[in-house]
Structure 1
Amino acid sequence: MIWPPSGHHCGVVRTADSTLTGRWHRLRLRPRLALAALAGFVIAVPVTLLTLAVRSGWGPVHRIDLWVADYLHGVVGSRPALLRVLLVVQDVMHPQVFRAAVAVLVVVLFVRGARRLAWWAAITMAAGSFLGFALKLVVARARPTFDLPLDTAPGYSFPSGHALNSAVGVLVLVLALVPVVRGARARLMLWLAGAFVIVLTGFDRIALGVHYLSDVVAGWLVAGALVAATAAAFETWRRDAGRPPHDPLEGVDPDDAERVVS
């Protein structure tokens, strides 16, 4: 007797094996993303402390912080129209706005069946929010003070939560959706628009006098490190799952991203 008795059973076995393998690879994705987020935190803490030490102990950085803060305070304070615009930008670019935008993206991705990409976006954004809060408590840097403040903000100053969350949110949105944007020029415009939002948010915090320049730059650096870590974890998972390597700047998961518009 020949075993297996027919090619049909071989197909069933192969299908079952491939299904189990696919499930195993998907189960391995979430722990990898969580570990990558933790790695981003572990890296960001000493980087942040080093930045603060440099700011406190190295004269040029401290003087630049104070000079930029005083200069922009004078410029904005003498232009009421500009101040009103910046106050609107502050609300539009609030961290909750970027969290909500990523949350909508996650829901859409789950509904469309792009669950791998949804998990990456959700974990990265959540880790960014937690990271900013934790680093503020660790560093506990006071905010800038002025005799006539243009605006006030609660909590500590370093790093800027607006800068960090806007950078994480924009990078998550762009890296998730760039594969569905057709044409090199359109993709470049998407990246430039994202960069504009990030820079505008950071400038707004400094111009309103609620953050120093180093607060904003630190927020950008931490956000970049976090997104890079989770994107790298996602790429290693893709290769382990037998998917072809690709340029991360072309999107974290092009296969899943296509489902958004399909």
Structure 2
Amino acid sequence: MQPATVDSPPRPPAHRTPARATALLGLCSVLLLLLVAARWHPLITADDAVARATHRWAVGERGLTHTFRILTDWVWDPVTMRLVGAAAAVWLVWRRSAWWTAVWLVATCVLGTLLQQALKAAVGRPRPVWPDPVDSAHYASFPSGHAMTATVVCGLLLWLLHHHGAGRTLRRVAMICAALSVGGVGLTRVWLGVHWPSDVLGGWLLGATVVAAAATAYRRQEGVNASAAVGPPS
């Protein structure tokens, strides 16, 4: 007599997971955006307390502050991150002839940058001002462009590695590098006194929303391409 088997619940279509992540992350991003725009007192108070504490440390720890300036201006700078994304797009075309994927990658990075700049102009949040600054930055404060750009580029590359079945070792190394880059750049922006903590959080949330939305679009386009390749039933 064969043992009874328990049917596993049906798995949702592949595109639903990134779609649900997009909705959740988008909701969190909009909520934070509204709180920042309305200058919600508990959020502003928490931002101020953290910013003042980290600025005192930055003034007192000049060596560490100098290291953070190098990291934020050269290693995790938005220009550097975009160049990494562009290099990945070139590799996709050169090694795999993956034109569609390369265009998707570049277009998502461009759209993320446009969204970031539009929100900065719309919210117009002033940056922290200190009598003894250790660094300077331009344009409005929310969201952090460094945090959002790093999240978008690293998130897209991690998703591509996972989606195309890269080796486990490569994926683990990429995840460690991405976590250090995304987390590290957020820390440097607050430490150097050029962003409020909620600016960084907003950059992370918005960047993750862009990645999730792009992954949803990619999977749907894959489905369309697969259906076109099969053709109509005879």
What is the TM-score normalised by the length of structure 2? Answer: 0.79
- Kindly indicate whether the alpha-carbon contact (under 8 Å) linking 1:51 and 1:218 is maintained by their aligned counterparts in 2: no
How many Å apart are 1:102 and its aligned residue? Answer: 0.8
| Candidates 204, 213, 220, aligned match of 2:188 | 204
| Candidates 72, 81, 87, aligned match of 1:104 | 87
Name the CA distance, whole Å, in 2 between partners of 1:53 and 1:140. Answer: 9
> Which residue does the alignment assign to 1:237?
221
Name the CA distance, whole Å, in 1 between partners of 2:62 and 2:52. Answer: 17
- Going from structure 1 to structure 2, the CA distance change for 1:154 and 1:67 (only over 3 Å counts) comes to same
Helix, strand or coil at the partner of 2:115: helix
* RMSD of aligned Cα (Å): 2.2
Name the CA distance, whole Å, in 1 between partners of 2:58 and 2:165. Answer: 40
Give the letter for the 2:131 counterpart: D
Deviation digits for residues 197-235 of structure 1 (CA, Å, limit 9, x no counterpart): 100000000000000000000011111111111110111
| Candidates 201, 215, 218, aligned match of 1:217 | 201
> Which residue does the alignment assign to 1:131?
115
Aligned residues: 201
| Structure 1 segment 241-256 matched on structure 2, within 5 A | 241-242=225-226
How many Å apart are 1:47 and its aligned residue? Answer: 4.5
Helix, strand or coil at the partner of 2:226: coil
| Candidates 138, 148, 151, aligned match of 1:164 | 148
1:143 aligns to 2:113 (yes or no): no
How many Å apart are 1:103 and its aligned residue? Answer: 0.9
| Structure 1 segment 12-31 matched on structure 2, within 5 A | none
- Stretches of structure 2 that go unaligned for 5 or more consecutive residues are 1-18, 228-234
| Candidates 70, 75, 83, aligned match of 2:57 | 75
- Kindly indicate whether the alpha-carbon contact (under 8 Å) linking 1:93 and 1:162 is maintained by their aligned counterparts in 2: yes
What is the TM-score normalised by the length of structure 1? Answer: 0.71
- Kindly indicate whether the alpha-carbon contact (under 8 Å) linking 1:117 and 1:176 is maintained by their aligned counterparts in 2: no
> Which residue does the alignment assign to 1:194?
178
Name the CA distance, whole Å, in 2 between partners of 1:47 and 1:132. Answer: 16
- Kindly indicate whether the alpha-carbon contact (under 8 Å) linking 1:90 and 1:205 is maintained by their aligned counterparts in 2: yes
Name the CA distance, whole Å, in 1 between partners of 2:79 and 2:133. Answer: 24
Name the CA distance, whole Å, in 2 between partners of 1:181 and 1:46. Answer: 34
- Kindly indicate whether the alpha-carbon contact (under 8 Å) linking 2:78 and 2:145 is maintained by their aligned counterparts in 1: yes
Name the CA distance, whole Å, in 1 between partners of 2:32 and 2:42. Answer: 18
How many Å apart are 1:46 and its aligned residue? Answer: 4.4
- Kindly indicate whether the alpha-carbon contact (under 8 Å) linking 1:157 and 1:215 is maintained by their aligned counterparts in 2: yes
User: Identity of paired residues, percent?
Assistant: 31
- Stretches of structure 1 that go unaligned for 5 or more consecutive residues are 1-35, 244-262
